[in-house]
Structure 1
Amino acid sequence: MKKTILLMTALICTSVQLQAHADTLSDIKSSGKITVGIDPTFPPYEYTNDQGQITGYSVAIMQSFAKNLGVKLEFQKTAFSGILPGLISGAFDAEGSSLNITAERAKKVLFTVPYSKTVNGVLVRKSEAGKFSGKTLSPESLSGMRGAVKTASVPEQLLKSFNQQLAKEGKKAITIINVDSLDQTVSTLMTKRADFVFDDISVLAPVVKKYPEKVAQVGEVGPAQWMGWATRKDDTSLNKALSEHILAMQKDGELAKLQKTYLGTTFTVPASQFIPQE
């Protein structure tokens, strides 16, 4: 009887381990569908157009991947702050929101090769752009001001790091205003609850184009970073497949075409050594 119980326990443990280390890529191929968590409020990378369709630069890459794999692509709308928790908990097969590749995030997830790079800029009301004319921006330039950022984003983390630097210098901190979407950051700026919006320059560019008489981008602050997708740590097969597809698109020129279409520029993404050291 004891041997039987021990055998059943061993089988249950083995089953749990196999489930924990399931091959998501294999499951996707078997089901014929890939479910992707995404926050479509980040143009030009991932956003919802006037027809209600999710589109953008990163979306086009994910659509290409799904087509190449021969599976249906289904997006699951998720607030940006819930993207990584949802991915890690298994709420969806993969995540499709553009993530800045950081050492901190790399402890929790496995990054694909990058498909873009980012540097953050400062957006202000057009009437106040003259205050920054001819100046090279720095954290000190933003001391004592109110900055609007998306919750749980890298721009938010950068502003927090700027505040640490300002504290050491004995200068006033930046008041960080957290909201859920780009539209809300702009609304916060235009209603004068914030003095500036801090986000990726390619994200701010369409806002300036849409409201040229109301807002202006006045400079860049902080380091450039690579952007990519993340998979769960044990989803090595899916991560490899996504990475290889991105690099294949780069090799045949398709990635450059998408970059030009959505970002207005082109660049080469690295195949390795893209995760920053702490």
Structure 2
Amino acid sequence: MKNLKLKFIGPVVLISLFIGLVACEAETMAEMEPPKDAPPKGAMKDGPPPKKGPPPEKGPPPKKGDVPAPGRSPALNQALGNLTSEGELTVCTDAPYEPFEYEDEDGNWTGFDMDIMRDISARMGLELAVKVVPFDGIWLLPASGECDIVASAMTITEERAKSTLFTNPYFDADQSLLVRTSDADKFGTLSSLSDGSIAVQTGTTGEMYAQENAPSGATLVSFDEPAAMFLALQSGEVDAILQDLPVNGDRQRNNPSFAMTEVFPTGEQYGFAVSPKNKPLADVVNDMMEEMMMDGVYEMIFNAYFGPVGEVEPIKVGMILVGPRNDKGWSQAHFEGGEYVVEKMGGNIEEDYIVVDFVNPADSPDLTVPDVVSDMIDQGAKIIFATSDDMGDGIMEAAAMFPDTPMIFASGDTAWEEGKRYKPELTNLANIMGKMEYGQMVAGCAAAIKSKDGKIGFLGPLINAETRRLANATYVGALACAGDKSIDFKVTWIGFWFHIPGFTLDPTQVTNDFFDEGRDVVISHIDTTEALVVAGQRAAGGETVWAVPYDYEGACEQAPDICLGVNYYNWGPSYLQAAMHASFGTFENNFYWPGPNWSDWNDHDSSMIGWIPGAGLTAAENDELNEYINELTQSKAIFEGPLNYQDGTPFLADGEVATDLQIWYAPQLLEGMIGDSSAE
């Protein structure tokens, strides 16, 4: 709560309640109610409401010194005669602080506090004027003539009451625990976070509560702004947020990625504040709050911001795969991501999961993406995932054909405002892609550490901006861990994401060619595991060779002893977020490109990408690799200059770090790499 905070800025960013938390939701919402204690005269009181209707019209406000207007109470006349600005109720607030005070898209002041102030202003016959000020000492401003009243989600305290006049309480505000929905079972209570990290806001009562009540072993991480806390929770940097119940409740209500799991009653209440010399205004506000309670307006405003959250219902999920669902690679990772969604939402795999695989021109030349989408919708699919860059044109066509069905174009850029294929008109088409550049850097590092002479082969699929940037990241990782070795990094592209006889190069033959050339490590970037299989066969014949597969967490199982590790996609959490938005009716065409959970790459409920170390690395080599991962965790820089492209064109100057645009749209391989930068 805004208790000790000097400046409390709280914009709420993106994306709730999970199906297993209905009981908690009911308890949580019961806590967020108007004060129930018998209030003093003029406070909000329960009672049978009269006929609802607009508040009675008031006459124009008097000027100072006017004779009291007939029909107005003495307190109202006195209050109107003491206004800071004639004809206006001037409100001081520290904004934004959702859901209490913030501006909407059109620049209008909204939020729980602001809606109450607007209604009170209208009942007084005044216009609402809002003055944004820092929170520190905000309760002193009415006495200094800066404004008439403070409405800023402010806790009533004895200390503040010495220098300001509070109205009767209008909101009970306790503390609460917010976690990722996928972690709701794991972190159901504060005590369950004994080994976890808890975000708090500096200088607030939430921070004070956490300091006094968090379990020993828990790490408290302080943030200056609520927005940073939500981002940290979403990315996995922290495990929970402890802060005001209404703020966490607002985030849960509007973002299905988050869930409140525990409420901590503190007995704190919010009040409005006026000058100690302006008791008439306090009386008027109390009277009008009572009117709002009686005529149902307060309840209407309250429910608009803190009403109950709808239960998440299972929905049918459509998954379009470019290859087979059991390829031990890209397609299987997506397939299992869809299974995660259905299971987490309480659905049935047999009934709620529609999968079509082998959707590619070679295997299914007569099958189009729009046809697949149409058939899935006919079967009841409420969200559809297209999982290959090659499906781009088809899923854009399908999104235009079926604008009411949410769709995901994995690896696409159609929802990115800066993207080359940006399609803002496709409001039902979002993008999700893991920032696998980090995983490729780790793979390259592992290869460089293991390789005897630094001779590495890179088994690539087709050539496009995605595959170039990921190959480049692999090379950068290899250079970072080369030590005294010279890195000889060769890229061979087979022509598609996996082997199609007669259409692509044979990845088995390409891998053998790499080893025949004296390269002792092959990094695979295709959807299937031929590189690892070949390496295992040759190792069984006595050769010292190694491989790094790609895409799928279980890929090393093909040849575990010679696998250096695997960087893999974990689509489940991001796909779950999209599906829950579809279920809630809050789906938006966002572009989402998350990296790993830096505190735990292999957390299946939060990390978009992961790295599983393989048995092919010794303990000492793993330690060396972990040192690089720790460095990467600190810098998070993917490409940093000086770097040139393959043809010598400058890419990044010394010390310059690549932007997301520069990373995403890689036009060439990097200088020093062997292989084609284009298919021409």
Instruction: State the TM-score, normalizing by the size of structure 2.
Output: 0.31
Rate the CA distance shift 1:147–1:93 in 2: closer, same or farther, 3 A: farther
Which of residues 211, 229, 232 is equivalent to 1:163? 211
Per-residue Cα deviation, 1:59-92 (whole angstroms, up to 9, x for no partner): 1211111112122211012233453354454432
Say whether residues 1:148 and 2:199 are aligned partners.
yes
Q: How much has 1:162 moved relative to structure 2?
A: 4.4
Aligned ranges 1:91-130 → 2 under 5 Å: 91-130=146-185
Rate the CA distance shift 1:30–1:102 in 2: closer, same or farther, 3 A: closer
Whether the aligned pair in 2 keeps the contact of 1:46 and 1:59 (CA below 8 Å) is: yes
Taking only aligned residues, the RMSD between alpha carbons, in angstroms, comes to 3.0
Match of 1:275 in 2: none
SS at match of 2:185: helix
SS at match of 2:291: helix
- Give the Cα separation in 1 of the matches to 2:81 and 2:134: 27
Whether the aligned pair in 2 keeps the contact of 1:163 and 1:173 (CA below 8 Å) is: no
Match of 1:253 in 2: 296
Rate the CA distance shift 1:145–1:88 in 2: closer, same or farther, 3 A: farther
- Give the Cα separation in 2 of the matches to 1:195 and 1:84: 34
Whether the aligned pair in 1 keeps the contact of 2:150 and 2:274 (CA below 8 Å) is: yes
Rate the CA distance shift 1:251–1:211 in 2: closer, same or farther, 3 A: closer
Q: How much has 1:250 moved relative to structure 2?
A: 1.1
Percent identity at matched positions?
A: 27
Provide the aligned length of Structure 1 versus Structure 2. Answer: 231
Which of residues 135, 138, 145 is equivalent to 1:80? 135
Say whether residues 1:59 and 2:114 are aligned partners.
yes
Q: How much has 1:54 moved relative to structure 2?
A: 1.3
Q: How much has 1:221 moved relative to structure 2?
A: 2.1
Whether the aligned pair in 2 keeps the contact of 1:81 and 1:151 (CA below 8 Å) is: no
SS at match of 1:132: coil
Per-residue Cα deviation, 1:17-44 (whole angstroms, up to 9, x for no partner): xxxxxx7652218711222112333333
- Give the Cα separation in 2 of the matches to 1:159 and 1:208: 20
Q: How much has 1:112 moved relative to structure 2?
A: 0.7
Rate the CA distance shift 1:209–1:252 in 2: closer, same or farther, 3 A: closer
- Give the Cα separation in 1 of the matches to 2:248 and 2:218: 23
Aligned ranges 1:1-278 → 2 under 5 Å: 25-28=80-83, 31-81=86-136, 83-87=138-142, 89-133=144-188, 137-138=189-190, 140-141=191-192, 146-152=197-203, 156-164=204-212, 171=216, 175-180=220-225, 182-212=226-256, 214-264=257-307
Q: Which amino acid aligns with 2:251?
A: V
Whether the aligned pair in 2 keeps the contact of 1:231 and 1:238 (CA below 8 Å) is: yes
Instruction: State the TM-score, normalizing by the size of structure 1.
Output: 0.69
- Give the Cα separation in 1 of the matches to 2:99 and 2:287: 23
Q: How much has 1:253 moved relative to structure 2?
A: 2.2
Q: How much has 1:55 moved relative to structure 2?
A: 0.7
- Identify the structure with the greater strand proportion: 1
Per-residue Cα deviation, 1:233-273 (whole angstroms, up to 9, x for no partner): 232121111111101211222222222222216xxxxxxxx
Whether the aligned pair in 2 keeps the contact of 1:80 and 1:151 (CA below 8 Å) is: no
Q: How much has 1:123 moved relative to structure 2?
A: 1.1
- Identify the structure with the greater helix proportion: 1
Rate the CA distance shift 1:173–1:160 in 2: closer, same or farther, 3 A: farther
- Which structure would you say has the larger RCO, counting Cα contacts within 8 Å and 6 or more residues apart? 1
Q: How much has 1:160 moved relative to structure 2?
A: 1.6
- Give the Cα separation in 2 of the matches to 1:115 and 1:206: 18
Rate the CA distance shift 1:225–1:125 in 2: closer, same or farther, 3 A: same
Q: Which amino acid aligns with 1:91?
A: E
Rate the CA distance shift 1:130–1:81 in 2: closer, same or farther, 3 A: farther
Query: Which structure 1 residue ranges, 5 or more long, are not aligned?
Result: 1-22, 266-278
Whether the aligned pair in 1 keeps the contact of 2:199 and 2:223 (CA below 8 Å) is: yes
- Give the Cα separation in 2 of the matches to 1:85 and 1:142: 39
Per-residue Cα deviation, 1:135-191 (whole angstroms, up to 9, x for no partner): xx35x5556754434455xxx22432442466xx9x4575251424x3333123334
Rate the CA distance shift 1:110–1:150 in 2: closer, same or farther, 3 A: farther
SS at match of 1:262: helix
Whether the aligned pair in 1 keeps the contact of 2:249 and 2:306 (CA below 8 Å) is: no
Q: Which amino acid aligns with 1:200?
A: D
Rate the CA distance shift 1:151–1:232 in 2: closer, same or farther, 3 A: farther
Rate the CA distance shift 1:32–1:250 in 2: closer, same or farther, 3 A: same
Larger Cα-atom Rg? 2
- Give the Cα separation in 1 of the matches to 2:307 and 2:105: 21
Whether the aligned pair in 2 keeps the contact of 1:38 and 1:96 (CA below 8 Å) is: yes
SS at match of 1:64: helix
Whether the aligned pair in 2 keeps the contact of 1:163 and 1:174 (CA below 8 Å) is: no
Q: Which amino acid aligns with 1:159?
A: E
Query: Which structure 2 residue ranges, 5 or more long, are not aligned?
Result: 1-77, 309-680
Rate the CA distance shift 1:244–1:158 in 2: closer, same or farther, 3 A: same
